[in-house]
Amino acid sequence: MNRAARITLIVATALASVGFIALAIWQLQRLSWKEDLIARVERQVHAEPVVPPPASALVSKADEYRRLRLRGHFEPHEVLVQATTELGGGYWVVAPLRLDDGTAVLINRGFVPPERRSPEQHAAPAGQVDLTGLLRLTETGGGPLRKNVPAEGRWYSRDVAGIAGQLGVADRVAPYFVDEAADPAQPRRWPRPGLTVIRFANNHAVYAATWLALAAMSAAAAVYLVREERRRIPS
């Protein structure tokens, strides 16, 4: 290896070390963000339920998983959204709840397996209902590699605007949906509510440690190469 190639290798290993340090810092920043997120969600899912934001409200990530209490009546329409849960594959049953002020809120009433997809097997309660649940942000587009096809009634994500349009409640619908909470009085009912997954992968500390280890190895390689280069220089 000639001298120019050796110098290039030294520079490359030094730059790699700097790059790995930058990645480690980024992962530590992500760790702080993720810990704040987990703490916020934990507070919100265990807080007292509050009234739902109005249809005109601008909701953000900071509002997701907030506990809500709602009162209204279910309209006689629903959409089935394909889902995979701890109970297996099946569907979320999404139906509009008309609040007393006229606002429609899409409620994810829970999960049904394929053999219980018929509406008569999971009919919504008649009359006024009170329920609690978690505010969730709209899921536009569809699922991985699969787009929603409203014209064919195929839904892979809980797209509020799209589902509201199909159900005919788009004129005054809240810009979020609600995952209905489990009902202790009916633990085996269908649809089965309370299956919201509230787990966040938090491997940022491991990733940061990995990048720091690679940075140290690259720095050590650079130092070794510099020493070797110095030995080659005649006294």
- Report the mean per-residue pLDDT for the chain: 90
- Residue type (1 letter), 72: G
pLDDT at 187 over 90: no
Query: Which residue is listed with tokens 């009085």?
Result: 185
pLDDT at 235 over 70: no
Average confidence (pLDDT) over 131-142: 93
Euclidean distance between CA atoms 190 and 182, whole angstroms: 11
More confident residue, 33 or 162: 162
pLDDT in the model for residue 36? 86
pLDDT, tens only, 188-228: 889 999 999 887 788 999 999 999 999 999 999 989 888 88
All structural domains of the chain with their residue ranges:
3-41+202-232, 66-180
Average confidence (pLDDT) over 55-76: 92
pLDDT, tens only, 2-50: 778 888 888 999 999 999 999 999 999 999 888 888 888 888 888 899 9
Query: Which residue is listed with tokens 């919504």?
Result: 124
CB of 74 within 8 A of CB of 95?
yes
Average confidence (pLDDT) over 140-162: 89
Query: Which residue is listed with tokens 């787990």?
Result: 199
Kindly report the backbone phi and psi dihedral angles of residue 3, in degrees, each rounded to the nearest multiple of 5, phi listed first.
Answer: -65, -40
pLDDT in the model for residue 180? 96
pLDDT at 232 over 80: no
pTM of the model: 0.81
Percent of the chain exceeding pLDDT 70 equals 99
CA–CA distances in Å: residue 17 to residues 5, 26, 208: 18, 14, 13
pLDDT in the model for residue 201? 82
Euclidean distance between CA atoms 88 and 81, whole angstroms: 14
Largest CA-CA distance found in the chain, in angstroms, rounded: 96
pLDDT, tens only, 77-122: 999 999 999 999 999 999 999 999 999 999 999 999 999 999 888 9
Q: Which positions ≥6 away from 111 have C-beta within 8 Å?
A: 83, 85, 87, 90, 91, 92, 93, 191, 192, 193, 195
Average confidence (pLDDT) over 178-188: 89
